[in-house]
Amino acid sequence: MSSILTHRLFWPVVMLLVLFAINLVAFPGFFVIEVKDGHLFGSLVDIVRNGAPTLIIAVGMTLVIATRGIDLSVGAICAISGAVACSILLGSPNPGSVGTVVTAVVVAVVISLVLGVWNGFLVAVFGVQPIIATLILMTAGRGVAMLITEGQILTVNSPPFKVIGSGFLFGIPVAVLIAALIFTAAAVLTRRTALGMLIESVGINPEASRQAGVRSRGLLFTVYTFSALCAAIAGLVLTSNQTAADANNTGLFIELDAILAVVIGGTSLAGGRYSLAGTLVGALVIQTLVTTVYTVGIPPIATMVFKAAVVTAVCLLQSPTTNAVIASWRKPIAARFRKATV
Amino acid sequence: MTAQNPVVSMTDISISFPGVKALDGVDFRLFPGEVHSLMGENGAGKSTLIKALTGVYSVDSGRMTLAGADVAFSGPADALRAGISTVYQEVNLLPNLTVAENILLGREPRRFGGIDWRAMRKRAKELLTGLHLDVDPGSLLGDHSLAVQQLVAIGRAIDVEAKVVILDEPTSSLDADEVAELFRVIRDLKSSGVAILFVSHFLDQVYEISDRLTVLRNGKLVGEYRPEELLRIDLVQKMIGKDIAVLDDLERRTHSAQSGGDLDGERPIVSAIGLGRKGAIEPLDLDVYEGEVVGIAGLLGSGRTELARILSGVDRPDAGELRVDGVSRRFRTPRAALSARIAYSSENRRAEGIVDELSIRDNIALALQADKGWFRRIPKKRQDELAASYISALNIRPANPDALVRNLSGGNQQKVLLARWLAVAPRLLILDEPTRGIDVGAKAEIQKLVANLAENGMSVVFISAELEEVLRLSNRIAIMRDRRLVADIDNDDLSVDSLLAVIADGSVTSGATS
Amino acid sequence: MRRVNGARSGTTRKHAARVAGIAAVAALAVTLSGCAGGGGDQAASGPKDAGDIVVGFAQVGAESGWRTANTKDIQRAFKDAGIELKFSDAQQKQENQIKAIRSYITQQVDVIAFSPVVETGWDAVLKEAKDAGIPVVLTDRAVDSEDETLYESFLGSDFIEEGKKAGQWVVEEYADQTEPVEIIQLEGTTGAAPAIDRAEGFAEVIGADEKFQVVASQTGDFTRAGGKQVAEALLKSNPGVDLIYAHNDDMGLGAIEAIEAAGMVPGQDIKIVTVDAVKDGMTALAEGKINFIVECSPLLGDQLVDIVKKVVAGEDVEKRIITEETTFTQEQAVEALPERQY
């Protein structure tokens, strides 16, 4: 019992369940998942599908944060990735062909990887503080996206491209499959190899890690590049979902949602131990929160306050101080119990 | 003195952490105007008891009184307000702030709602003068040596109107003169009626300054004694709980190792030729042979640590060359040195050694894993074997490979660090102050280990401020003074006095064979 | 409150757009140099020869497609009229705009026109213009000033009127129906003038008949992704909905995707009314997926030219002139689409 209570995912999971319960009361069909036109259809499906881009970015963000860093540029990279893909599709005589779409996706991802390497370069080689290094691309990146789209919203009509964000495979949204793939890949790559432990080590004590022979520079390059890759993919999902590249709005503030998901998931911004499972729960909490606003019918003016209240609650419940207080309430009871059994 | 009422009284105190019972029903009392030493091995519960007293940890059970009234502090700030002031084992100050700011942090003199900087410097200067410390209060703390930082921390502790001053290993980075200074300060405090809780691993110092001793072992109280009634050998036995055979054994072993150390005609595995770095060490020559323990002696700031950092690739040399097996090598990173199987264990355990949020197992495997690369993960089973074997070989406590290193005592953290370097099977192991802040038992264990390793063919460079230790372990001793290597002498009949003479005068002839 | 025109140029000017604007300016400047000061050789009417008139125009920036169309139309109209236009781009900064206006005053232009970046802080510079005897015309956005004599006229859209037009179509469309009509409203960015006014005008008209029920009203932030996500959630919790009213085309386009994903036909199963009439919206209208669009036109160049001519000729002009705007049905969209420029 106490091990469940002290588990770092306890409160985020409780919050998720509470949000589910609120939705169920407001909308009894909330948990209903039916098959419509050969694919899954229901509120829960929407939550995981709409939450997919945030989750994808949050996975990359988790690893960056574990190294004591932060990546603010992911939203801008989303916009660039979408803008590149859409401009290639629009420039092609045959935007509907799978080949064109594959080209567009590959080019968008490669350009984003270059941007990730740039971030890694600033942080790992020049030792620029991550928040500053990625701030550069966060602001300049939108400008780059604007140049690519020439300030217009680029609408594309390409059925294969649309599949990425709105399509279904075996009845499951493709966006969810992509997110699951990235999540699993990140988990396997970091936990089945030594990458995860080394990332944590660099995040906890960079100098000790260096003296132990850990190649922290290479690790930093890797996590920032991976984060950019995640952002590129999330940008493609977002762009495909709205069938248009919108340099101004695609991925706007998604870096903050991703950071929040990581923090709700129990990974400290001070770096070190991270939890991808926590990030998953965090991303789901954030997306469910959005849906709750709609189903409960919270007036748009009060939406921000509502979200802030929930997030504050989660963060307070997770704080070490709160947990210490809760532990001190429990202790007398446990002590009495112990005496009784001895 | 006992006729008085104790200023601090702790009764039946228990505290446990996940996997560790840190204190188990311990009693402790402290009278005004006395120096009371808290003795015990690492992990005995000394630091925990201090943290319980100062409110860092809340106690699971037991009763504490201060000047007769029940107390339970919510934290060090709370304890400080009640008159309990602490200087911790590791300096807990802010290197980015000035000396004056560090001394008066949180109680800065105020003027017109702002900080009165002038009064602050003046007050700090007075305190420093009282400590006979010639330091500019406006200079950054981080620019000073650890010893000065330690004295500044003490200055901070005595600035408050303290009833109780706790000094946890205050002398571990101080030289003899600085210790004398500190003791003078302690006696002043004592005569003004302050109760002093003193923790040190230096038995000489404990016997010199203490009025009373309390011995802990494995979280339990062994007893309270007066130093004049307790022989040193008995104290050590009470602390480690077994007879002193370990130490005798060590004496015999090292002497046999030394007598067998005939190294003529062999090629050194590592040699420095004119190796230097501006601002760190002047160019010097040094050879290390297989199976040899080379001690490096010298005062703080003599360049002994700087030499170790250059040998191990932590810092890069800008003069001379370094040869490994006769081949010239340039180590750009510690990683490169490690791949040549040269390992360095930093003197700064907390900042450059342990990775405190990781488990014992991960900490032990870290260097080995870093060497293998990201993707060739050491299998879990192998990691467990590694951890288990070092935990038992080095007697690491708690013997739980999943315990976070953060929760270990200083000595056990040091052992974990040693295990990390041993796991990469180095040919040359450079140990910088491996026994600092460690109790007699653990110290003996580590010394024994070093002797063992050399016997089995590993070369060791051993750096320590304790000359007895250097003398006991080394085949050869290199002496550093003012960033220069002033002597490189075989350890035949050397004594502490003869070493001191070289350190003081910088010349070998002035009594190396006394 | 009138801060923004055009739904896309949502009031909360996103931080990134500022940088984007800087980046886009370089590209824009190239096209401008060809336009400004062109064609003084055309015949003119009125007391002062059109060829002798010089107008200074201080644009907000190039933050959206709507704004770009606005800029292009103004440049075209003045060129066609043979009036010299001095054009400046403020990159969404008031200080730049004030500088530009001061420089027009020193250059002794005949008329100054501008779209104020913000509502307040104009009194001083407008006073300078008035003292120099140069009349000022506001386009698209108003200023908040006690002294109405500081400017000659304000030319721009009436968002309340747009909401009313949308409401009127709904009232007519369901004139024969007696059962309740369930409506979902997709609002613009919370607090933005167009969002507030379009909701107000719409509510005023449909409020006359009790059968019209707005069952849910949430903000989609004027974006396609926002519209889609809100519509997905609201369609599930309000399965009986008949009509969606979106405050701009983009959110309407997002709603179309949500409706299609729910296995329904947009434009038939659920009707859609939007505001803006940008090209993507018009295309959807022509395809029958949207039922009715109220225009919010950026094309106010010709009207501005007329006002300038009148002011220079000393004729009286109305203090408030509404942009000439129309509405489009599906049939009209098919006709208008080929000529649609933005």
Per-residue pLDDT, averaged over A141-161, amounts to 86
Q: Which two tokens stand for residue B270?
A: 């590592």
Domain shared by C292 and C306, yes or no: no
pLDDT digits (tens, 9 = 90+) for A293-334: 888 888 888 888 888 888 888 888 877 777 777 777 765 555
Type of residue at C261 = A
B333: contact with A, CB 8 A cutoff: yes
Three-state secondary structure readout of C167-220:
HHHHHHHCCCCCCCEEEEEEECCCCCHHHHHHHHHHHHHHCCCCCEEEEEEEEC
Residues C153/C317, Cβ–Cβ less than 8 Å? yes
Domain shared by C25 and C60, yes or no: yes
Give the C-alpha distances (Å, rounded to integers) separating B212 from B185, B187, B200, B439: 18, 14, 13, 18
**B166 CB-near residues (< 8 Å, 6+ apart):** B50, B53, B54, B84, B85, B86, B87, B157, B196, B197, B199
Domain shared by C123 and C178, yes or no: no
Predicted local confidence at residue A222, as pLDDT: 94
Most A CBs within 10 Å: which of B56, B357, B362, as the mutation test of the A interface?
A: B357
Residue C197 phi, psi (nearest 5) = -70, -40
Per-residue pLDDT, averaged over C167-188, amounts to 92
What ipTM was estimated for this complex?
Answer: 0.84
Q: How many domains does the structure of chain C reveal?
A: 2
Q: Which two tokens stand for residue C171?
A: 């009232």
* Domain limits, chain B: 8-241, 244-341+427-514, 351-425
When CB atoms are compared, the residue of C16, C191, C219 closest to A76 is: C16
What is d(CA A50, CA C225) in angstroms, rounded to the nearest whole number? 10
Does residue C70 lie within any of the structural domains?
yes
Predicted local confidence at residue A335, as pLDDT: 53
Place of tokens 């004049």: B228
Domain shared by C11 and C150, yes or no: yes
Domain of C206, CATH number, reads: 3.40.50.2300
Using a CB-CB cut-off of 8 Å, the residues of chain B touching A193 are 374-377
Return the closest-CA partner of residue B304 out of B499, B113, B120, B119. Answer: B499
Predicted local confidence at residue B89, as pLDDT: 62
List residues in chain C touching A: CB distance below 8 A.
8, 14-17, 19-24, 27, 62-65, 68, 187, 190-191, 216-219, 221, 223-225, 228-230, 232-234, 236-237, 250, 253-254, 257, 261-263, 280
Predicted local confidence at residue C43, as pLDDT: 39
Predicted local confidence at residue C16, as pLDDT: 43
- Packing angle of the helix pair B360-372, B410-423 (nearest 10 deg): 30
* Weakest mean pLDDT among A82-86, B85-89, B335-339, C207-211: B85-89
**A247 CB-near residues (< 8 Å, 6+ apart):** A79, A83, A142, A145, A146, A148, A149, A151, C20
The yes or no reply on domain B244-341+427-514 and CATH 3.40.50.300 is yes
Does residue C337 lie within any of the structural domains?
no
Count CA atoms within 13 Å of residue C75 on its CB side.
22
Q: Is the pLDDT of residue A229 over 90?
A: yes
In percent, the amount of chain A with pLDDT more than 70 equals: 94
What is d(CA A151, CA C24) in angstroms, rounded to the nearest whole number? 7
Q: Which two tokens stand for residue C151?
A: 């400017």
Nearest CA in chain A to B309: A211
Q: Which residues of B215-232 are buried (b: 16+ CB within 10 A; e: fewer)?
A: bbbbbbbbeebebeebee
Q: Average model confidence (pLDDT) for chain A? A: 89
B139: contact with A, CB 8 A cutoff: no
Q: Is the pLDDT of residue C158 over 70?
A: yes
Burial-class residue A265 by CB neighbours within 10 Å (0-12, 13-18, 19+).
buried
Does residue C302 lie within any of the structural domains?
yes
pLDDT top residue among B486 and A186: A186
Q: Which two tokens stand for residue B61?
A: 């059970």
Does residue C230 lie within any of the structural domains?
yes
- Packing angle of the helix pair A300-318, A10-26 (nearest 10 deg): 150
Does residue C225 lie within any of the structural domains?
yes
Three-state DSSP class for B196?
A: strand
CATH class of B8-241: alpha beta
Q: Is the pLDDT of residue A241 over 80?
A: yes
Domain shared by C291 and C302, yes or no: no
Domain shared by C28 and C83, yes or no: yes
Predicted local confidence at residue C203, as pLDDT: 94
Per-residue pLDDT, averaged over C56-63, amounts to 81
Q: Which of A58-72, B285-299, B440-454, C52-66 has the highest mean pLDDT?
A: A58-72
Domain shared by C74 and C178, yes or no: no
Domain shared by C112 and C193, yes or no: no
pLDDT digits (tens, 9 = 90+) for C240-265: 999 999 998 989 999 999 999 888 99
What is d(CA A103, CA C161) in angstroms, rounded to the nearest whole number? 46
Nearest CA in chain C to A152: C65
Using a CB-CB cut-off of 8 Å, the residues of chain C touching A148 are none
Domain shared by C185 and C207, yes or no: yes
Give the C-alpha distances (Å, rounded to integers) separating C61 from B232, C6, C64, C115, C142: 84, 14, 9, 9, 16
B16: contact with A, CB 8 A cutoff: no
What is d(CA B74, CA A321) in angstroms, rounded to the nearest whole number? 12
How close is the nearest chain C Cα to the Cα of A183, in Å?
Answer: 23
What is d(CA B7, CA B19) in angstroms, rounded to the nearest whole number? 33
Domains and CATH numbers, chain A: 2-303 (1.10.3470)
Predicted local confidence at residue B411, as pLDDT: 84
What is d(CA B377, CA B361) in angstroms, rounded to the nearest whole number? 13
Q: Does B8-241 match B244-341+427-514 in CATH topology?
A: yes
Domain that holds residue C180: 159-296
Does residue C2 lie within any of the structural domains?
no
Q: Is the pLDDT of residue B413 over 80?
A: yes
Predicted local confidence at residue C12, as pLDDT: 40
Three-state DSSP class for C161?
A: helix
Query: Is the bond preceding B398 in cis, omega lying within 30 degrees of 0?
Result: yes
Q: Which two tokens stand for residue C126?
A: 């407008």
Domain shared by C142 and C38, yes or no: yes
Give the C-alpha distances (Å, rounded to integers) separating B250 from A236, B436, B444, B447: 68, 19, 8, 8
Place of tokens 């420039």: A91
pLDDT digits (tens, 9 = 90+) for B47-76: 889 988 988 888 888 999 998 889 888 888
pLDDT top residue among C9 and A274: A274
Does residue C94 lie within any of the structural domains?
yes
Per-residue pLDDT, averaged over A89-114, amounts to 93
Domain shared by C263 and C314, yes or no: no
* Weakest mean pLDDT among A230-234, B80-84, B296-300, C125-129: B296-300
Residues B475/B293, Cβ–Cβ less than 8 Å? yes
Angle at the Cα of C140 from the Cα atoms of C135 and C143, rounded to 5 degrees: 60
How close is the nearest chain C Cα to the Cα of A147, in Å?
Answer: 6
What is d(CA A81, CA A163) in angstroms, rounded to the nearest whole number? 16
Question: Residue B404 carries which DSSP code?
Answer: B
Predicted local confidence at residue A2, as pLDDT: 53
Predicted local confidence at residue B257, as pLDDT: 45
In percent, the amount of chain C with pLDDT more than 90 equals: 44
pLDDT digits (tens, 9 = 90+) for C39-58: 333 333 445 666 788 999 99
Does residue C341 lie within any of the structural domains?
no
Predicted local confidence at residue B513, as pLDDT: 39
Predicted local confidence at residue C19, as pLDDT: 42
Chains C and B touch (3+ CB pairs under 8 A): no
